[in-house]
Amino acid sequence: MYKTDLSVDPKEVAAIQARRNREKDRQARFFNVRTRVMGVDVEALNKQVEERKLREATERNKEAAHGTTQVHYDLVAQMLEKEQAERTRRLAKKVQEYREQKQQLKNRREFDIWDPNQLQKEYPARLGDNDLRCGPASLQCFAGEDLDRTTFLKMQQEQFRYNLDRQVQEQQQARNDEKSADLLNDKLRLAMEMRATQLAKLEESCRVAMMVAMANANKAKAAETTARQQHKHKREQEANTKEIQKQVTSDLLTENPKVAQHPIDPHRVLPYCWKGMTPEQRAAIRKTQEVQRHEKEIQRQSEKALNTEWENQAMCLTKAAMELEEQEKELCAEFQRGLGSFNQQLAHEQKAHQNYLNSIIYTNQPTAQYFLQFNTSSR
């Protein structure tokens, strides 16, 4: 017999339920007349634009932070490179000093103890026990005889002690040299910082002094300009006062006929002087003024009559406008009465037509189930 597996995968059920929920949300969004959007969903597009802008801003911030970190790393790398170069230089200097010291100790006995080329530098085979080139350590024994070990061990211990002391002294000297170099570097750095501080203070004091000097120069220049302008204005005022006084008191504006007479020919009149007016000229001027006054009086009376006529015409126009307005009101009232009766007639006809449609034409009204069969899916 075959076995039927009726078990259901929970993940598949969850996926189906999620798909149904999404479809319900989609239908609610599409079929709801209050939230439905005809055409493009502007809100979703704006949300996408905001998300894109936020993502671009995050990327720019990351790039800026990465650039700042990279610059910091570059500076640290440069400092480490400088420190490594300085350390290499000091080590090379110490090696060179050590080599020079060893070069000076070539002829000493303990120089070749740790020399890797010791075998190549050894002396040739000795000629015998009485060879002057052989020291106490080179003694050998004959058949049946033992070497004096005490003297050899004592010399070897002295040699080892000397080498050890020399190495300790060299190490101590190297530490002292390194401490001295660090101390000198610290002193040099401190001196450079103090010098930079002093230069900054001097520069600031120079800048302040320059600003003060410039301000004083500007003030002096402004004061000089103001004084010059005041002096110029004062001279102009004095010149104008003198010119006015001269014009007032000169013979050019006087009405004395004697001033215009020629000193040699009395019948001649100077062209640049005022010769005065004769009585006939004064009488002609007064006559002309009287004529002008009479003309102005006539013109004033004519203007007054014209204004009175304009006022009368304005009153007539106002009365005519009021009469036209009353006639218009009567016509409007009559039109409203006729329009009301016409509207009542149209309302009766519309009501009769609607009753005809409801009682004869639209007898089979659709139910709500009829409308629910459409738009059941959002796809």
- How much is the pLDDT for 224? 92
Listed range (91-100, 116-125, 343-352) with the worst mean pLDDT = 116-125
Average pLDDT over residues 76-84: 84
Cβ atoms within 10 Å, residue 198: 10
* Of residues 104 and 326, more confidently modeled: 326
pLDDT at 276 over 80: no
**At 234, is the pLDDT very low, low, confident or very high (cuts 50, 70, 90)?**
very high
Listed range (68-72, 125-129, 316-320, 368-372) with the worst mean pLDDT = 125-129
Residue pointed to by tokens 């009829």: 370
* Of residues 55 and 266, more confidently modeled: 55
- How much is the pLDDT for 253? 64
pTM for this one? 0.26
Dihedral of CA atoms 329, 335, 337, 338 in degrees, nearest 10, equals 170
261 DSSP β-pair partners: 269
Average pLDDT over residues 292-300: 92
8-state DSSP, 110: G
- How much is the pLDDT for 128? 57
Q: Strand, coil or helix: what is 112?
A: helix
- Taking a C-beta distance cutoff of 8 angstroms, is the pair 26, 37 a contact? no
Q: Strand, coil or helix: what is 36?
A: coil
- How much is the pLDDT for 158? 84
**188/180 Cα distance (integer angstroms):** 12
Q: Tens of pLDDT along 135-180? A: 655 555 443 334 467 887 888 788 888 888 888 888 888 888 888 8
pLDDT at 233 over 90: yes
- How much is the pLDDT for 144? 37
**66/72 Cα distance (integer angstroms):** 10
- Taking a C-beta distance cutoff of 8 angstroms, is the pair 124, 131 a contact? no
8-state DSSP, 2: P
**Exposure string (b/e) for 33-72, b if CB count within 10 Å is 16 or more?**
eeeeeeeeeeeeeeeeeeeeeeeeeeeeeeeeeeeeeeee
**274/264 Cα distance (integer angstroms):** 18
- How much is the pLDDT for 87? 86
- Taking a C-beta distance cutoff of 8 angstroms, is the pair 223, 230 a contact? no
- Taking a C-beta distance cutoff of 8 angstroms, is the pair 29, 35 a contact? yes
The alpha-helical segments, DSSP class H, found in the chain are 10-31, 42-104, 149-249, 279-356, 368-372
Write out the two tokens for 232. 């110029």
Sign of CA dihedral 333, 339, 344, 347: negative
Gyration radius (Cα) of the chain, Å: 64
pLDDT at 338 over 70: yes
**At 131, is the pLDDT very low, low, confident or very high (cuts 50, 70, 90)?**
low
**At 265, is the pLDDT very low, low, confident or very high (cuts 50, 70, 90)?**
low
Q: Strand, coil or helix: what is 262?
A: coil
pLDDT at 238 over 90: yes
* Of residues 182 and 258, more confidently modeled: 182
